[in-house]
Structure 1
Amino acid sequence: MALYLVSRTDHHDYDEYDAIVVRAGNEATALKIATNGKEHERADGSNWWDADFEGFEHDGSNLTVERLESRGPAGLVLGSFNAG
């Protein structure tokens, strides 16, 4: 396993993440961890995405993934959150 830095490619605001570091077996798994969340249904039948890492798009379109070397189990190592 390796560490992966997942970073935003767009502007971030208060109460959003701009980067996280995760441990994963490959870039695809790192991106899957970064884009995790839950979909909720509103009373009107429309849906909204509640991301685990606020500001990260569900499809990963505003993210880059960079491999860093390390060993250990899969999971979040560090999250960079911009509190407002």
Structure 2
Amino acid sequence: MALFLVSRTDHTHYDEHDAIVVRAGDEKTALKIATNGEEERYGDHVWWDADFAGFQRDGSNLTVERLESRGPAGVILKSFKAG
């Protein structure tokens, strides 16, 4: 397992995620974790409720980067955009 940084490539609005760090076996699995969610229905209306607001279901606005596990101690990700 490795750590992967999954980041947005588009503009982030308030109350959306712009990046996450996940543990996965490969980039494909990291992207699958990042794009997870549920299809919701109300009558005829259907929408995708993403686990990470702002992440597109198909991953089209995301990049995945494997992080080195060695290096100095410190913060890996601090991402905050509240509204």
User: What TM-score does the superposition give when structure 1 sets the normalisation length?
Assistant: 0.84
Query: CA RMSD, aligned part only?
Result: 1.7
Which has the bigger relative contact order, CA under 8 A and spacing at least 6?
1
The runs of at least 4 aligned residues of structure 1 exceeding 6 Å deviation read none
* 1:48 equivalenced with 2:53 (yes/no): no
Residue number in structure 2 paired with 1:13:
13
- Length, aligned pairs only: 77
- Highest Rg: 1 or 2? 2
What residue ranges of structure 1 are gaps of 5+ in the alignment? 71-76
Structure 2 residue matching 1:12: 3-state secondary structure: coil
Higher relative strand content: 1
Residues 35-58 of structure 1 show CA distances to partners (whole Å, capped at 9, x for unaligned) of: 000101121x23100000000000
Gaps of 5+ in 2: 70-75
Q: How does 1:21-60 map to 2 (within 5 A)?
A: 21-43=21-43, 45-60=44-59
- Provide the TM-score with structure 2 as the length reference: 0.85
